Amino acid sequence: MSRDLRSLPKAHLHVHVESTVRPGTLRELAEANGVPVPGPVPEGGFTGFRAFADHNSLIRDCLRRPADFERLGREYCEDEAAQGVGYAELTFTAASHGERLGDLEMPLEALLRGLAAGREATGLEFGVLLDHSRRRSVERAWRTLDLARRYADQGVLGIGLAGDESYPLAPFAEVCAAAEKEGLHRVHHAGEAAGPASIREALTLGRAERLGHGIRVLEDAALVAEVAALGVPLEVCPSSNVALGLAPSWAGHPLPQLREAGLLVTLNTDIPVSLGVTLSEEYALARDWFGFSDEVLAELAEASVRASFAPAPTKARLCAGIAAWLATAP
């Protein structure tokens, strides 16, 4: 008999908060704001990254008023806490929302208010990473960095490059260097749709401290050794990889091989509500498909805590909780 994965303390490091909107909330926001209700993810997953991005844009368009972003933050905390998440680092495309709505600060300020209220109600600790699409302008990336700098005292931890990896990270090298100089964290999507070269670019020009996805590191043995030696964590999201056609199936996902290669692997959802999978269910799927024992799942949970940017006392508390979970009879 296996232990309840919802009670396993864990950190959630790769989740786009716009993709956590509850279906009922999404319908209410769409109706209130007079926009179409986004349909479900196509059966069999997306036909490619562009199809995913288009679907995600429909969700984002439902978020328009300060109250929408506040609600998103509150409900996010409630839903994560119910999955045993004690600490979360959520990704938010703040500058894009701000430009879309004609108020650069409002979406981020409102989300942070909602998250603070959610933390008060649930105890969930959080940090926010502001991402920027590689397809968009360097000017917007500088605006993203400015938002991260100005709201660092309210929980914003840093920045990251996301979006279509066929677009290079190189144009944003100066932004990443400035972020490092200011003490802001850097976490970039790489090695998901693109190969090892995108990972090298993220580590060098992007000054990445973690890799969003990074699953294609296995295509370059020397890079595997380098990433393992550096201890750069991977934010692995199997359900998302399968839905986007970046892994053939759960059975064919390289999660076990990444662990066997000595890499620091964390388990995440990426776009949970879009795929109908919670973080606990992601752990359960890993158990079902790969036969992972509770000990291995506890290792993954502990890796997520160690790879996070959480304060030391938070890490210690969560690791103690993981040990207690494992010590309890199933």
| H or E element in which residue 107 lies | helix 106-122
Q: How many CB atoms lie within 10 A of CB 288?
A: 11
Q: Reduce the DSSP state of residue 86 to 3 states and report it.
A: strand
Per the CB < 8 A criterion, the answer to whether 230 and 267 are in contact is: no
120 labelled catalytic: no
Q: Distance (Å, rounded) from C-alpha 263 to C-alpha 182?
A: 28
Exactly one of 109, 125, 192, 302 is catalytic; name it: 192
- The distance of Cα 94 from the centroid of its chain, to the nearest Å, equals 15
In the block, tokens 């207690």 appear at 324
Q: Distance (Å, rounded) from C-alpha 144 to C-alpha 188?
A: 14
Q: Distance (Å, rounded) from C-alpha 54 to C-alpha 52?
A: 5
Two tokens, residue 120: 């008060």
Q: Distance (Å, rounded) from C-alpha 120 to C-alpha 115?
A: 9
Residues taking part in catalysis: 192
